[in-house]
Amino acid sequence: MSAIDALFAELRAAGRKALMPFVTAGDPDLEFTAEVIREVVRRGAALCEVGIPYSDPIADGPVIQASYTRALEKHVKLADVFTMLAGVTPGLAAPVVTMVSYAIVFRRGPESYVARAKQSGLSGLIVPDLPVEEAAPLAAICRREDLSLIQLITPTTPRDRARRIADHTTGFIYYVSVTGITGERAELPPEIAGNVAWLRTQTRLPICIGFGISRPEHVRMLAPVADGLIVGSAIVRRVAEAHHRPRSEVLRGLGDYVAELLAAMG
């Protein structure tokens, strides 16, 4: 049983849902990224997703794109991200996964990337641009090393393809709530609940919903139908304030925001 499998088994037994903040590695720097990860977990986040900066984001909106650009301008390297994570993960009471383009995994070499990820204490990979038709080799490596390979299903994914993706996914399914890119939204589509309900008839995997979630009312709407909720742009936007505000204030405000979302989960 992987760390993520064990986590969701524990949460289900306790009748609880997971909150998963997304953090860009290296914005404003890797030292602060480490502080942010520790703070959100201390405040109750069940998992943490760390974005590996990439020059051509796949589905990221302007907030996350800008954070990637800032990190790359500071020459954040994959090896440095792994080193930072290796120093953080041993003290965490929550699994950490990376959101990473397959171009980065391929350039490093899938075997090498997975080995280094495991050495850094990571529990899984989310690879948004890896087609299910080409996922088998990486899935086999991850399975051997007991790391979860988390894949995305969107509102426009045909149902036969959604079944195939679910069959090749481990850890949890990342269900994309909206058609389009990441970013904070005032409202979320009402059909999410029905789409997730259908997906539950096709898989026993936990289903975590992401994209657009930023408000307590979103959490109250989706927590009853999801096993976990992923919050990205709203977290990244708050972290970015560390470029011009005292870091202690930013960290405290971020922790309070995470606590507010958790309270809305009930």
Answer yes or no: is 266 within a domain.
Answer: no
Answer yes or no: is 222 within a domain.
Answer: yes
pLDDT band at 191 (very low <50, low <70, confident <90, very high): confident
The answer to whether 265 and 223 are in contact (CB under 8 A) is: yes
The answer to whether 155 and 191 are in contact (CB under 8 A) is: yes
Answer yes or no: is 28 within a domain.
Answer: yes
Answer yes or no: is 194 within a domain.
Answer: yes
Answer yes or no: is 262 within a domain.
Answer: no
pTM for the whole structure: 0.93
Answer yes or no: is 121 within a domain.
Answer: yes
The answer to whether 225 and 197 are in contact (CB under 8 A) is: yes
The answer to whether 176 and 210 are in contact (CB under 8 A) is: yes
Instruction: Round to whole Å and give the CA distance between 138 and 96.
Output: 18
Answer yes or no: is 263 within a domain.
Answer: no
Instruction: Round to whole Å and give the CA distance between 123 and 119.
Output: 10
Domain limits at 88?
3-9+19-257
Answer yes or no: is 202 within a domain.
Answer: yes
How many distinct structural domains can be found in the chain?
A: 1
The predicted model gives 165-194 an average pLDDT of 74
Strand-pair partners of 21: 231
pLDDT > 90 in the chain, percent: 82
- Judge whether residue 185 has pLDDT over 50: no
Instruction: Round to whole Å and give the CA distance between 232 and 177.
Output: 13
Which CATH number belongs to the domain containing residue 145 in this structure? Answer: 3.20.20.70
Instruction: Round to whole Å and give the CA distance between 122 and 215.
Output: 28
91-148 residue pLDDT tens: 999 999 999 999 999 999 999 999 999 999 999 999 999 999 999 999 999 999 999 9
Catalytic residues: 49, 60
